[in-house]
Structure 1
Amino acid sequence: MSDWLPETPRNLAFPTTAYVTLAGADWLASASPHPEGMHVLWAERPEAPTVLPCGAAFDVINAPALFGRRMVDRLWSSGPGSGPVATHRGRILLFAAPGTAQRLPSLLAWEEWGSAVPPLLCHGSGDAVTVPPLHPRPHAAGGAGDETPAGSRWLVAPDVRAPWLPGPDILLWACVRAARGGLGADRETPRAHHESAVQGMDPVLTGG
């Protein structure tokens, strides 16, 4: 834990919160230009997915399922943890700090292992994403009338009004760790990766 700044949260247990709390719903609603309307919609249809704009309260990094789970595993096993995480239509949605969608692709382009990262969909300002229902729908016999898309659920549901969200540097680290897989270098901490990357940059770029 000494590898992280004091203001960076890190939990030892991987969270499994499957539903959104009232405080988490307030945070999600804040992404909409009409938050009161979102609460009305959720009150009427709490088990339906919702479309929310990105860029203000959060950005979303949309990754293939297997690679996305590897990223989340790295974030919780060796990193600072994650913000809210959802799965939707076979993809992993990692909620990130606003501005991450714009910066992460350029960081990956400079990264040595960037070519090993599968294409990511980076949703930022001007984009919108579908988020899972606030509460998972109970599986009824036969499944008739279930409007929830298959695999649409929260893996780490928002539970506070201002959740911590990873920025582009942390998600770059998670992408590289996931791409390297089980190699020995995968044990490198996020701070060590950042420092080694800076040391390996052209002195002209770093001002050295």
Structure 2
Amino acid sequence: MSDWLPETPRTLAFPTAAYVTLAGADWLASASPHPDEMHTLWATRPSAPSVLPCGTAFDVINAPALFGRRMVDRLWSDGPGSGPVAAHRGRILLFAAPGTAQRLPALLVWEEWATAVPPLLCHGSGDAVTIPPLHPRRSPAADRTAGPGAAADADPAAPSGSRWLVAPDVRKPWLPGPDVLLWACVRAARSMAGPAPEAAAQHPVSLLTAG
């Protein structure tokens, strides 16, 4: 299973969209029971993070920054691509198909590389996540030091970092399911394990905790 990658419709080069389009904002707002209120909030406080419930429009797999970036890199370099991805307070948020938060831990427990996967938080039905502002914000210091036309680029691994790595840009984005993210977890774990023998993972246990 760890070498199998399902066919999916995404084969684009790694995107670098830093802000959410109007269509992407409509999709994010659809996760809320009051989408109009979300649009009002974003219009009045465009530089503030916001909170959205999981389980209807999307689930979220929440990974440590380094491992999460490895997963995203694998998804785009060797795999089908990803759905929206955000960095928030030293974590990587991978937006996934509804149901993934429940199914992924059950799949991973059977993988021999499960012990090499760091603790992940799986946010599904009944959970909520904080998402970055729809548009990146620039600090006054960054405006003074950046050259003409240069954009400030916050470090997504920094504790205070909060920005989109792959911003929502359509009303119905493709979202990876549990099988695709299982593949990404195993590939990321292998890439970080180095030359250590696979025998180090002979007793798989789930390191995922439901959010």
Distance 1:40 1:118, change over 3 A: same
1:105 counterpart = 2:115: no
Task: State the identity %.
Answer: 80
User: Aligned partners of 1:23 and 1:142: how far apart in 2?
Assistant: 29
2:11 match:
10
Distance 1:155 1:183, change over 3 A: same
Which of these residues, 176, 184, 203, is aligned with residue 186 of structure 2? Answer: 176
Q: CA contact under 8 A between 2:97 and 2:176: conserved in structure 1?
A: yes
Name stretches of at least 5 consecutive residues in structure 1 with no aligned partner.
Answer: 144-148, 186-208
- TM (normalized to structure 1)? 0.81
User: Aligned partners of 2:173 and 2:47: how far apart in 1?
Assistant: 22
Q: CA contact under 8 A between 2:90 and 2:161: conserved in structure 1?
A: yes
Measured after TM superposition, the shift of residue 142 of structure 1 is 8.3
Query: In the TM superposition, what whole-angstrom CA distance separates every residue of 1:52-101 from its partner, at most 9, and x where no partner exists?
Result: 00000000000000000000000000000000000000000000000000
- TM (normalized to structure 2)? 0.79
Measured after TM superposition, the shift of residue 141 of structure 1 is 2.4
Structure 1 stretches of 4+ with a deviation exceeding 4 A read 182-185
User: Aligned partners of 1:86 and 1:184: how far apart in 2?
Assistant: 27
2:23 match:
23
Measured after TM superposition, the shift of residue 108 of structure 1 is 0.8
1:163 counterpart = 2:164: no
1:139 match:
139
2:163 match:
153
Measured after TM superposition, the shift of residue 8 of structure 1 is 2.4
1:141 counterpart SS class: helix
Tell me the matched-pair count.
176
2:133 counterpart SS class: coil
Measured after TM superposition, the shift of residue 184 of structure 1 is 9.5
RMSD, aligned α-carbons: 1.9
